[in-house]
């Protein structure tokens, strides 16, 4: 049976652009249903404009939380944690000579970096491990310390409620409309707390875990291509060309996501953005990318052998959607 993966990005993302969809589209599920269904790996998906949570983008802090450093981590007792790193999305490190892993990082503090270059304390307030095929997805309740000394959730929903995050190695360029925007930066000194409901975390739930492999092939490239696809970042410059709540079908050549719909080809994707796209996009309007040189025969599955990571399809123009 076809699984409907209805992750309503606008309602889960920290910055809500709008929770409504066109009246001809299927009714949006409840928030509880959205969270439950996010673990289902195949089927229709709802896109969103948000790359990661942006509740730190305010006057008090001067910018959003763009990365977190491994160095400077401390335990609940204030002792320095050394050799901290991620294995998948689980932290490991040392407290003196003693190994610290997994749940042992509950209460740990890190140093977060903001977009303006300043730093602030970040604290892990709760940890839970996924189950089954997602046993390698660890969720963290994370807070930051404001200028008044109080602690506030890093990831929040549209109503200000706390959301969890997944820790993932490296950091992203959150600029939009410029060269390098939306790019994954492989920084061995830093990691990202990816807020649930936004593209970085959503793509891991889709099965594209950047630390995982399928038949010996790393999924890191698929994950980054997915973050471009979810946001309709056709030009590969960090700018989104869609509105929250648009339906999209995606599939790949490694069997993580399979083609479940008979919709029109929208685009082919790699880490840098779209390799090609058609008029049937979620933008519902012409998209122009400076210097864009599309590959021919857009949507051919043979392109999985020559650099295409994902193919997306849009129901735009399909009767009843």
Within 10 angstroms of residue 187's Cβ, the number of other Cβ atoms is 15
How much is the pLDDT for 160?
83
Given a contact cutoff of 8 angstroms between Cβ atoms, the answer to whether 105 and 141 are in contact is no
Half-sphere exposure of 122 (CA within 13 A, CB side): 30
Residue 203 phi, psi (nearest 5): -70, -30
How much is the pLDDT for 140?
98
How much is the pLDDT for 296?
97
- At residue 183, the 3 state secondary structure works out as coil
Using the Cα atoms of residue 45, residue 268, residue 283 and residue 67 in order, give the sign of their dihedral. Answer: positive
Q: Which of 273, 278, 279 is nearest to 299 (CA)?
A: 278
Low-confidence ranges of the chain (pLDDT < 70): 1-46, 53-63, 317-321
How much is the pLDDT for 25?
35
How much is the pLDDT for 50?
81
Q: Is the pTM of this model over 0.75?
A: yes
How much is the pLDDT for 130?
96
For residue 79, CA distances in Å to 52, 257, 290 come to 30, 43, 51
Give 150's DSSP letter: -
Structure tokens of 131?
Answer: 């189950």
Q: Which of 142, 146, 180, 178 is nearest to 162 (CA)?
A: 142
């Amino acid at each position: 049976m076809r699984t409907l993966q209805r992750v309503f990005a606008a309602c889960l993302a920290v910055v809500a652009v709008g929770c409504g969809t066109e009246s001809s589209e299927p009714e949006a599920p409840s928030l509880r249903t959205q969270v439950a269904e996010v673990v289902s790996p195949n089927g229709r998906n709802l896109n969103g404009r948000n790359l990661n949570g942006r509740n730190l983008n305010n006057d008090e802090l001067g910018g959003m939380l763009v990365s977190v450093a491994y160095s400077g981590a401390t335990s609940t007792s204030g002792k320095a944690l050394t050799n901290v790193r991620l294995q998948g999305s689980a932290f490991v490190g040392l407290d003196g000579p003693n190994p610290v892993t997994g749940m042992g990082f509950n209460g740990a503090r890190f140093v977060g970096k903001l977009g303006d270059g300043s730093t602030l304390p970040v604290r892990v307030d709760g940890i839970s491990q996924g189950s089954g095929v997602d046993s390698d997805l660890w969720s963290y309740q994370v807070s930051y310390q404001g200028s008044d000394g109080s602690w506030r959730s890093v990831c929040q929903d549209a109503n200000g409620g706390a959301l969890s995050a997944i820790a993932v190695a490296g950091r992203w360029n959150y600029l939009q409309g410029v060269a390098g925007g939306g790019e994954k930066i492989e920084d061995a000194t830093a990691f990202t707390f990816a807020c649930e409901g936004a593209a970085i975390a959503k793509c891991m739930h889709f099965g594209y875990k950047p630390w995982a492999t399928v038949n010996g092939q790393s999924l890191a490239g698929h994950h980054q291509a997915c973050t471009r696809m979810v946001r309709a970042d056709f030009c590969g410059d960090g700018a989104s060309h869609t509105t929250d709540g648009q339906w999209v079908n995606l599939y790949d050549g490694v069997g993580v996501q399979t083609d479940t719909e008979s919709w029109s080809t929208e685009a082919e994707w790699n880490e840098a953005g779209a390799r090609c796209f058609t008029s049937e996009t979620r933008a519902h309007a012409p998209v122009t990318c400076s210097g864009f040189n599309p590959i021919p025969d857009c949507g051919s599955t043979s392109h999985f052998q020559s650099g295409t990571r994902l193919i997306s399809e849009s129901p735009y123009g399909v009767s009843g959607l």
